[in-house]
């Protein structure tokens, strides 16, 4: 099994701690530890659809901003267990589509359904609890909190202790708190940044912040993880590493929707692709089909490779 996150075993830090423990493990111990991390991070929710069935339905969704039609009768499904790429030239409607799915915007018409249930009236918080998590084009972390705390906050969406239980520090609250910290630590290791768990988010390097956003989204145990240009600002090697992480996330049992600006990367990492242009869906299919699709080629004609999504 390959290492999660950045694929490297951490260096032994002078101050010791968990990362030092991992770095000092024998190969067999390390493999066993990795299996434990994968198991701790894997989704643990009851789901009503099986792998390969439609998890999320975007059904004839239109979003208007005044006179502008940002999404025009768009329909597609996301199947449980796949990485679906959402691509299209600038202004095509990709982020609007994410926003319509995650409760930021209400569709002007049409419906988004998760496991068959319409999300129309659900708040953003309710949608997170129902199982859709996302990252943003512009990183949004709690800068003053540590990396670990940022992830623990994400696990709160899944806590069951009442406020009274928390105030009285009930045994259940204690148990949930410990589980949240253990899971958050496993998530940081999974995305490859456990060595900076105790650092404030604002002091982390940019690439670590991007990975931390993903760990925090995974902490909610999402049925669907939506990543909005997670590799923005990365160099090619960092992009490759991040795509490796996204594949690992899928292999661990998650379903991923990916907006990404780099066409070559999208082709390499996704199972299927939906293409938008001027708010309309112009193509949907396997990466090999999309690459050859005349409408997609026309939409991207003249757009340099690294300036398309």
Ligand X SMILES: Nc1ncnc2c1ncn2[C@@H]1O[C@H](COP(=O)(O)OP(=O)(O)OP(=O)(O)O)[C@@H](O)[C@H]1O
Compute the distance between CA of residue 299 and CA of residue 29 in angstroms, rounded to an integer: 51
Rank residues 43 and 91 by Cβ distance to ligand X and give the closer one.
Answer: 91
Asked whether the beta carbons of 165 and 172 are under 8 A apart, the reply is yes
CB of 109 to ligand X, least distance (A): 16
* 309 binds ligand X, rule: CB under 6 A: yes
Rank residues 91 and 285 by Cβ distance to ligand X and give the closer one.
Answer: 91
CB of 114 to ligand X, least distance (A): 20
CB of 242 to ligand X, least distance (A): 18
59, 168, 70, 166: which is closest to 120 by C-alpha?
59
Compute the distance between CA of residue 192 and CA of residue 119 in angstroms, rounded to an integer: 33
Please give the helix or strand (H or E) that residue 241 lies within, else none.
helix 236-251
Burial of 89 (0-12, 13-18, 19+ CB in 10 A): middle
CB of 87 to ligand X, least distance (A): 9
Contacts with ligand X by CB under 6 A: the residue count is 12
Compute the distance between CA of residue 51 and CA of residue 53 in angstroms, rounded to an integer: 6
Rank residues 3 and 290 by Cβ distance to ligand X and give the closer one.
Answer: 290
CB of 257 to ligand X, least distance (A): 13
274, 268, 203: which is closest to 240 by C-alpha?
268
Q: Is the dihedral of CA 180, 166, 119, 116 positive or negative?
A: positive
Rank residues 68 and 303 by Cβ distance to ligand X and give the closer one.
Answer: 68
> What residues pair up with 257 in beta bridges, in sequence order?
84, 226
Place of tokens 């569709």: 107
Rank residues 57 and 229 by Cβ distance to ligand X and give the closer one.
Answer: 229
Rank residues 88 and 103 by Cβ distance to ligand X and give the closer one.
Answer: 88
126, 75, 78: which is closest to 104 by C-alpha?
126
CB of 137 to ligand X, least distance (A): 7
- Of residues 54 through 113, those in contact with ligand X by CB under 6 A are 65, 68, 70, 88, 90-96
Rank residues 64 and 172 by Cβ distance to ligand X and give the closer one.
Answer: 64
CB of 70 to ligand X, least distance (A): 3
Q: What are phi and psi of 128, to 5 degrees?
A: -60, -45
CB of 309 to ligand X, least distance (A): 5
> What residues pair up with 112 in beta bridges, in sequence order?
58
Rank residues 96 and 161 by Cβ distance to ligand X and give the closer one.
Answer: 96
Rank residues 100 and 193 by Cβ distance to ligand X and give the closer one.
Answer: 100
Q: How far is CA 249 from CA 99, 176, 210, in A?
A: 22, 24, 15
CB of 90 to ligand X, least distance (A): 4
Burial of 77 (0-12, 13-18, 19+ CB in 10 A): middle
Interacting residues with ligand X (CB under 6 A): 65, 68, 70, 88, 90-96, 309
């Amino acid at each position: 099994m390959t290492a999660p996150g950045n694929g490297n075993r951490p260096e032994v830090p002078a101050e010791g701690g968990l990362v030092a423990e991992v770095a000092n493990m024998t190969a067999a111990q390390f493999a066993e530890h990795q299996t434990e991390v994968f198991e701790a991070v894997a989704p643990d929710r009851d789901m009503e659809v099986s792998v390969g069935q439609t998890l999320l339905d975007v059904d004839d969704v239109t979003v208007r901003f005044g006179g502008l039609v940002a999404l025009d009768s768009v329909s597609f499904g996301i199947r449980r267990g796949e990485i679906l790429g959402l691509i299209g030239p600038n202004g095509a409607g990709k982020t609007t589509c994410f926003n319509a799915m995650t409760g930021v915007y209400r569709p002007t018409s049409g419906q988004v359904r998760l496991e068959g249930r319409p999300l129309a009236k659900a708040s953003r918080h309710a949608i997170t609890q129902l199982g859709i998590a996302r990252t943003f084009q512009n990183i949004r972390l709690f800068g003053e909190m540590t990396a670990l705390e940022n992830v623990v906050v994400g696990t709160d969406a899944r806590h069951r202790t009442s406020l009274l239980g928390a105030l009285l520090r009930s045994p259940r609250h204690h148990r949930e708190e410990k589980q949240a910290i253990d899971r958050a630590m496993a998530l940081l290791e999974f995305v490859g940044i456990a060595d900076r768990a105790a650092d404030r988010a604002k002091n982390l390097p940019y690439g670590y912040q991007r990975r931390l956003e993903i760990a925090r989204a995974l902490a909610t145990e999402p049925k669907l993880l939506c990543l909005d240009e997670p590799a923005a600002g990365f160099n090619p090697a960092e992009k490759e590493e991040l795509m490796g992480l996204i594949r690992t996330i899928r292999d661990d049992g998650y379903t991923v929707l990916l907006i990404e600006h780099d066409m070559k990367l999208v082709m390499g990492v996704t199972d299927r692709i939906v293409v938008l242009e001027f708010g309309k869906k112009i193509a949907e299919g396997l990466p090999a089909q999309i690459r050859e699709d005349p409408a997609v080629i026309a939409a991207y004609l003249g757009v340099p490779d690294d300036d398309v999504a």
